[in-house]
Structure 1
Amino acid sequence: MTFLKSLATSKGDIASITAPPFILSATSLTEYSKFWAELPDLFVAPSMIVDPEERAVAVFKWFIATLKGQYTSRNEALGSEKKPLNPFLGEMFLGKWETDDEGTTSLVSEQVSHHPPVTAYAIFNDIYGVELTGYNGQKASVSTTTLNIKQVGHAIYKINKFDETYYITLPALHIEGLFYGAPYVELEGSTVIQSSSGYKVKIDYSGKGYFSGKKNSYKAKLFAPGGSSKPIYSFSGQWSGKSTIKDERTKSESIFYDATEHHIVPLQIKDLEEQSAYESRKAWSKVAAAVAVMDYDTIHVEKSKIENEQRALRKQEKEEGREWTRRYFSFVEDSESLKKLATDAGLVPDKNVWQFNRDAFESGPDKC
């Protein structure tokens, strides 16, 4: 209750507030990038579809399939949402998915900013020529009994075969159940998926209200190129369960996706002894072990060690007049391609873009 009162009286962004050990997760936020590709078959599926309309539907299906992992998997596994560990600047999370049909899908995630916290990531499958890049940050605030989180950033999904790009915005969310000791995530507001081919999906999120509605609900519409206000497809249901698709031209309706029937592919990562000091699992191993047994004293001691080391590094950099060098991502301003996609989607483009340097990764020591 003391912690909740401190949240309720805080002003501005509370993302950096230190959480008490009992609500901590043993997982760093850099790992959350993996939820984009836990279903490699859906991740690469659009690359095998020739028709651009059907391809846009397949991209949206993959996107909807990522939401359960991103926003409800921890609640289901742990009984409630836990606060992830705040990544330190330069922290990395690397891994790969390997399947018989899709081959290797690789993940590179790096904390490129600490204030504000920003994680950049790249996920790619060279066999199918598919790549996802993007970055994600959070701004948190409290209103009454709800923790509100605005996600900053976007994702870019590319299909090389068709020279096609999809610009994906990120949903806002709020944490309910804080005062009952069982926090869970609900998505809210709207997001957009804009294709360079002209197809656009607008998604509206809603949750369970006091008198009506179901948790994790959404409605979406797919629009054809040309700016028509009439959708060619509509979708509705629960992103954590079943949803349907309706062809607005023929009025036929069918099951679109059932999240309860799709099983994720485990991510493969290196053993701890093979990881560098900057890789998440290695860096946070002592904290994670302490969280597992609720050893609050050790959690505090080990977290403080990491945080104090980082403060010392930032102080040294400031004194030497230099900035931390990012390993695999570089800061780019005013991306023309992003500007066009955002404008087509009716949005103001992000000014700041973190771009993946594939050559640096391939020549570096950190491949999984």
Structure 2
Amino acid sequence: MVLGHRKNSLTSNRSSTDATRDSDAEEDVEVVNTEQGNVLTHIISQLRPGADLSRVTLPTFILEPRSMLERITNFMAHPDILLTLPTIDDPIKRFVAVTKFYLSGWHIKPPGVKKPLNPILGETFTGFWEYPDGTKGYYISEQTSHHPPKSSYFFMAPEHRIRIDGTLKPRSKFLGNSVGSFMEGIAVMRFLNRNERYFITQPNMYARGILFGKMKYELGDHAVVRCPETGLEADIEFKVKGWMGGTYNAIGGYIKDSKSGKNLFELSGLWHGEMFSKDLATGKKELLFDATHAKPSMVKARPLNEQSQGESQRLWDTTTRAIKKADHRSATDEKSRIEDEQRKLASDRGGEENWTPVLFKAAPPGDEEQLDWIINAQVDANASPDKQIQQILAIAPILPGSSMQEAKQQPSEQSKTLSPQQSTQSQQTQRSGNDLIDFGQHDSSASQPRQQQPQQPSSSSASNDLAAGMSGMSMRGSSAAPAQQQPAAQQWRNGQPVVRQNSAGTEETFVDAET
């Protein structure tokens, strides 16, 4: 099977005898009132089936009160499964457990039919998990593209030798009485103690009944988990309910040895309930995962007052509080304000092509893993867990009480795909400081304003953008005069607006939002 290829489910049969009960649970249904229905009808009436919804502003009553960057963490929310995976010696049992882990995250969702907030360009979210054994997992993400949307992320649990890199690329389309969100992109999970990778794709998501009937959330089509080192592969179908029969939320599929072509296990059940695996050699069927009794461990983040303006929770705080209160007018106004500012910034810098991500860099072209972006830092797979933690915490603030000035400096690792011009710019930057994050400790930079153009990626551009809130978003005005003669991080620490040059050669000023 070609990596990243997804087969659509044109029909929906019942998965197996284990998934025949009706699972049309109340939490999966959204009842839309007359006013909300009129808004949806007005928006949809302007579209034709197959239309791209990436540039359509959706009403806030169908939005989940968190960003897509944060929602991705659902897939790391069962450490009771995740942390055991690298310790399983048998490769087949290990792969079955990886499949279990993959299926464990889909039941985590808000009631009704909700779509997460679309991250703005340059938005970031960082978080962590505290595990029962005293260790931690670390998560860093950034919106590396807005048109088309691309959410890039990095996760690592150093003591457990687990690393995950991924880019999610959702595409939304109007399908008549449904809206489909086609979840392109890939995640690569690594077990560093075994030199093993797992390539993972996602099912598509559908909101049914947006014009008539009750709104219903469904997962559909095929997803793949594949380990190139062992040749094992899982083809999982998320089955949508057909017109004449079938079951909501059913899954089915097989785990096979791609080298021999032999199916080893059959998968069945309900992704929001019980799921089973059947050993085809022995006929023995076992409970794989029971979502009805699962208790997810949700990601933790630093307090809002420690977050910079470009971080998801602080950026959308007013919007999400209004959504939770069902104050859709206020939510819409605040969401529109943020999006309008982004459009103005994009116009000022001459388009999105002039934007360079801060925390991520372009992945080498033609790579088997097919990742668009990877973390812009050196995290040594062979280093000790303590050293890896030090390297991770140097990338961006993650833990409570941490800030940019406290981050340890790390050598900058440039992408192998830099153009000759970018490579020259990078070398010039490294002469003044070979750190991934430069806080203006060099006298030459501290006394002169920066004149370099943004580049892919460099230590100085990383420090400027991270200190300015880790995003390219222009904040509400401040009475303070631009502090052009100070390094960005020093301006940020002093409470002054941060000034940087964009690729068009014009200056952008960043200040904290008014409280």
Check whether TM > 0.5.
yes
Larger mean CA deviation between 298-307 and 107-116 belongs to 298-307
CA distance in structure 1 between the partners assigned to 2:213 and 2:154 by the alignment? 35
Report Cα offsets for 1:71-91 as digits up to 9, x if no partner.
xx212xxxx112322211111
Structure label with greater radius of gyration: 2
The structural deviation recorded for 1:183 is 2.9
The structural deviation recorded for 1:34 is 0.8
Aligned pair 1:25/2:35, yes or no? no
- Residue in 2 aligned with 1:115? 147
Report Cα offsets for 1:49-85 as digits up to 9, x if no partner.
011111111110000101212xxx212xxxx112322
Kept in 1, the 8 Å contact 2:148–2:169? The answer is yes
Aligned residues: 347
* 1:221 alignment partner, one of 239, 254, 279: 254
* 1:3 alignment partner, one of 40, 56, 60: 40
What are the within-5 Å matches in structure 2 for residues 62-141 of structure 1? 62-69=101-108, 73-75=109-111, 80-101=112-133, 103-141=135-173
Aligned pair 1:50/2:82, yes or no? no
* 2:305 alignment partner, one of 273, 290, 299: 273
Q: 1:271 to 1:222 in 2, by over 3 A?
A: same
CA distance in structure 1 between the partners assigned to 2:134 and 2:80 by the alignment? 6
TM-score, structure 2 length as denominator? 0.64
Larger mean CA deviation between 100-109 and 261-270 belongs to 100-109
- Residue in 1 aligned with 2:327? 295
CA distance in structure 2 between the partners assigned to 1:356 and 1:184 by the alignment? 36
Aligned pair 1:356/2:393, yes or no? no
Report Cα offsets for 1:148-192 as digits up to 9, x if no partner.
221120111110011000111121221113235753321222121
Kept in 2, the 8 Å contact 1:8–1:143? The answer is no
The structural deviation recorded for 1:333 is 4.4
Kept in 2, the 8 Å contact 1:7–1:14? The answer is no
What are the within-5 Å matches in structure 2 for residues 211-360 of structure 1? 211-228=244-261, 230-318=262-350, 323-338=354-369, 350=370, 353-359=372-378
Kept in 1, the 8 Å contact 2:265–2:278? The answer is yes
- Residue in 1 aligned with 2:397? 366
Counterpart amino acid of residue 10 in structure 1: L
TM-score, structure 1 length as denominator? 0.88
What are the within-5 Å matches in structure 2 for residues 197-216 of structure 1? 197-216=230-249
CA distance in structure 1 between the partners assigned to 2:203 and 2:70 by the alignment? 18
- Residue in 2 aligned with 1:40? 79
CA distance in structure 2 between the partners assigned to 1:185 and 1:358 by the alignment? 38
CA distance in structure 2 between the partners assigned to 1:291 and 1:181 by the alignment? 23
CA distance in structure 2 between the partners assigned to 1:8 and 1:209 by the alignment? 25
The structural deviation recorded for 1:237 is 0.7
Counterpart amino acid of residue 4 in structure 1: T
CA distance in structure 2 between the partners assigned to 1:102 and 1:227 by the alignment? 42
User: Secondary structure of the residue that 1:318 maps to in structure 2?
Assistant: coil
Larger mean CA deviation between 213-222 and 158-167 belongs to 213-222
For structure 2, the 5+ residue unaligned runs are 1-37, 379-390, 400-515
Larger mean CA deviation between 181-190 and 131-140 belongs to 181-190
* 1:171 alignment partner, one of 176, 195, 203: 203
Q: Which has the higher strand share?
A: 1
Report the identity percentage. 27
CA distance in structure 1 between the partners assigned to 2:298 and 2:181 by the alignment? 28
Kept in 1, the 8 Å contact 2:177–2:212? The answer is no
CA distance in structure 2 between the partners assigned to 1:184 and 1:130 by the alignment? 35
CA distance in structure 1 between the partners assigned to 2:287 and 2:337 by the alignment? 51
Q: Which has the higher helix share?
A: 1
What's the C-alpha RMSD, in Å, of the aligned pairs?
2.1
User: Secondary structure of the residue that 2:372 maps to in structure 1?
Assistant: strand
- Residue in 1 aligned with 2:178? 146
The structural deviation recorded for 1:97 is 0.9
* 1:160 alignment partner, one of 184, 192, 213: 192
Runs of 4+ with deviation above 4 angstroms: none
User: Secondary structure of the residue that 1:123 maps to in structure 2?
Assistant: strand
- Residue in 2 aligned with 1:344? none
Kept in 2, the 8 Å contact 1:81–1:182? The answer is no
Kept in 1, the 8 Å contact 2:266–2:279? The answer is yes
Kept in 2, the 8 Å contact 1:149–1:172? The answer is yes
Kept in 2, the 8 Å contact 1:40–1:105? The answer is no
Report Cα offsets for 1:6-65 as digits up to 9, x if no partner.
325414211331112333332222211111101112122210101111111111000010
CA distance in structure 2 between the partners assigned to 1:21 and 1:244 by the alignment? 37
